[in-house]
Amino acid sequence: MFTKIFHKEIFQGNLRKKHYFEGWYFKNVSADKNHIYSFIAGVSLEENDKHCFVQVINGSNGQTSYFRYPIEAFYASSDTFFVKIGENTFSREAISLNLHNDETTITGKILYRDAVIYPQRFFHPNIMGPFSFIPNMECNHAIVIINATIEG
């Protein structure tokens, strides 16, 4: 548990929880700032609608696509930041996408190089500051990478 306080990017929940949501947001901006795409990997544990998903947002025109998966398609490492939803993977180093629905197909890999990581201190382990130590907060936030060079 203490490790997760200092590594909020690691899945904080468990799949037995009820009324729980957790997600990871990856904003990608091209060097010329003409292309902005965000990818959100998430898990929703509402009692009658447990599922995981990948949401894609085109920051240039606001178009959003939602790719829904059964909860069994979700995997999260317990000791490092690695999330898998179906054939899609998310880590600090890269995301790999293989998304298909009736309107949209997105496939590819994005690598994160020369990443600037959010600075940690003992009493300020992440963006939540000392609130990181309060158990059962309704909402938690973390910034994993502040800036990086993207390839892909």
| Residue-range definition of the domain harbouring residue 79 | 2-151
pTM of the model: 0.84
The residue among 38 and 128 whose pLDDT is bigger is: 38
For the ranges 7-16, 43-52, 71-80, the lowest mean pLDDT is seen at 7-16
Average pLDDT over residues 85-113: 95
DSSP class per residue in the chain: -HHHHH-TTS--S-TT-SS-EEEEEEEEE-TTSS-EEEEEEEEEEETTEEEEEEEEEETTT--EEEEEEEGGGEEE-SSSSEEEETTEEEESSEEEEEEE-SS-EEEEEEEEEEEEEPP-BTTB-STTGGGGGSTT-S------EEEEEEE-
| Domains identified in the chain, total number | 1
Q: pLDDT value at position 50?
A: 94
For the ranges 16-30, 74-88, 133-147, the lowest mean pLDDT is seen at 133-147
Q: pLDDT for 44-66, tens place per residue?
A: 988 899 999 999 999 999 999 99
Confidence of residue 7 (pLDDT cuts 50, 70, 90): low
Q: pLDDT for 113-135, tens place per residue?
A: 998 877 777 777 777 777 777 77
Q: pLDDT value at position 4?
A: 61
Average pLDDT over residues 138-148: 73
